[in-house]
Amino acid sequence: MWGTADPFFPLQWAYWLKSRIPGARSVIELPGAKLFFPEERPDAVANALCGHWQILEAVA
pLDDT at residue 60, rounded to an integer = 65
pLDDT digits (tens, 9 = 90+) for 14-55: 999 999 999 898 999 999 988 888 888 899 889 988 988 887
Domain boundaries, the chain: 36-60
DSSP letter for each residue of the chain: -EETT-SSS-THHHHHHHHHSTT-----EETT--TTHHHH-HHHHHHHHHHHHHHHHHH-
pTM metric for this prediction: 0.74
